Amino acid sequence: MNDTLRRLLSSLLLCLCTLTAAAQTRTVRQRIAHLLREKHATVGVAVLTDDGVRIRCNDRRRYPLMSVFKLHVALALLDRMEREQISLDSLIRIEASQLLPDTYSPLRDRYGCREITLPLRELLRYSLSLSDNNACDILIGLAGGIDSVSGYLRRIGARGFALSQTEEDMHRDIRNSYKNRSRPSATVLLLHRALEGSLLRPDHRDFLRDCLIATSTGPDKLKGMLPEGTVIAHKTGSSDRTAQGVKIADNDVGMILLPDGRRCFVAVLIKDSQQSDAENAALIARIARIVYDGLNGRESVPPPPSRRK
């Protein structure tokens, strides 16, 4: 085979791959858009792969992040630790007054409301893997405050977000939950930069990934319909309901490892839902499976039978 023919075949193969990828992307977008019709909620979706596939649905809005913002807090703190040469093993004294009652806190449940000392890596694990609200606010303080977290994001060029509230702020007034918000594409891009880019040192990047893989919350969300054994590093978020029964937010953002080794980053942010928590979770899981199957060139598995009457 001469060089001219080899180049021609290579060009044809590249064109074929490009057309196939474009068709897969279009199909995934159409299936997601069809799924979102007539839902009693506002749902934003963003997908990004490490080979450049981008999918967006309802991405112009900013959605309440809830505990997804613990990822942003962790990144800001890890950045400060790198600049000031602070080790993950550094011990942090936690006052009893920082372990607030009446908020989700496995940390407080384990140690009680008393003074304790823990290494930074454990606080980060509590905040990221277990979504501990008290641990998150302690980390916000160590990062310099919520304004410093927001400033870090602006400094690295992050766009499409607003952060101004701690977990205590949101617990004190449920309306504050709307103030920490982001476009789905902004969140998925930040996660991609955190796990695949140069925002963090390799050891901190690996630590962050391990914490997100160990996430115990939301097993029925992004990972709910994925094949058993699929590796997913994700961060969930969930709000209380208003007096009218409206769920302010139900979210999951994560990196899914595809069978061919590609990494797929998916954000599903649900706002002002009148659906049940189970329905929200099933919707997130269904979107993740559509993306997973679509990017692998497969027909997506059918949804489970509806239990709604």
Cα→Cα distances 289→222, 302, 306, Å: 8, 10, 17
Closest by CA position to 145, among listed 159, 163, 132, 131? 163
Q: Which of 10, 67, 127, 273 is catalytic?
A: 67
- 87 is known as an active-site residue: no
Contacts of 37 (CB under 8 A, 6+ apart): none
Cα distance between residue 68 and residue 62, in whole Å = 13
Contact by Cβ (8 Å): 71, 194 = yes
Write out the catalytic residue numbers: 67
